[in-house]
Structure 1
Amino acid sequence: MSVETWTAVSSGVVGVASAAAAVWSGRAARRTRRDQRRDDFTVVTDAMRKEMDRQGRRIDELEQSSDRQDLRLEGAGVAITYLIDRVRGLTTWVRSSGLEPPAAKPIPDQAREFINQDV
């Protein structure tokens, strides 16, 4: 065999080997249906975990807001109780002086259920 023949044969062998390697690597790089499903599940799971974390933070914020509102309502209740006692004391003092306190304005409808009218 001549040098040219060896060159041609070796070029053919290299070409066939290159083609086989390309086919094999293409087949190996292809994602199987199982891989695709697993990756889709991972994406969905990660998205759900992220959303659950966000919802958890939102619930924590709402609980803190609710706690602050409870404290404000408790303080307002104490203030209203103090003011009622103060008005009753002043009304008693005015009546004991022989005077009559001025007439009160009508009670707004929204406040009617919270006001005891025994003053």
Structure 2
Amino acid sequence: MTLDMWVQAGLAAVGAVGGAVAARSARRTKRQENRDDFTEIKKALNERIDDLKDDLAGQQEQINGQGAAISWLVVDRRGLFAYIRNAGLEPPAPRPIPERARPYLEHIDV
């Protein structure tokens, strides 16, 4: 073999090794993959938290509406009972409050 052939073979070997090193360094490490997995999981959890906040806001609005309806009913019932008593009549006896509703009506004079 001549010197030129040896030089070309050496350069080819260096090029092959360099290519292998470049390919290896371009590959993602396990740590990078785990970090990206964590980022995706975190993003999905943040989206779910935002959805839950929206659901909670809707439920809070519904609860506020239900509270307003109950308050209106209580005031209307008191007004009706007052009207009946002013007419010289006796209003009907109230029905018993269900156990399930009792904790929510303890502060209301019904």
Q: Normalising to structure 1: TM-score of the pair?
A: 0.69
| Alignment length (residue pairs) | 105
Aligned to 1:25: 16
Correspondent of 2:79 among 89, 93, 97: 89
1:39 Cα deviation (Å)?
Answer: 1.0
CA displacement 1:68-97 (0-9 Å, x = unmatched): 111111111111111100000001111111
Q: Normalising to structure 2: TM-score of the pair?
A: 0.74
Name which structure has the greater RCO, CA cutoff 8 Å, separation 6+: 2
Mapping of 1:1-119 within 5 angstroms? 17=9, 21=12, 25=16, 29=20, 39-115=29-105, 116=107, 118-119=109-110
SS at match of 2:67: helix
1:23 Cα deviation (Å)?
Answer: 9.4
Aligned-residue identity in percent: 34
Q: In structure 2, do the counterparts of structure 1 residues 117 and 40 end up closer, same or farther at CA, with 3 Å as the change threshold?
A: closer
Structure 1 residue ranges without an equivalent (≥5): 1-8
Q: Provide the aligned C-alpha RMSD in A.
A: 3.1
1:56 Cα deviation (Å)?
Answer: 0.4
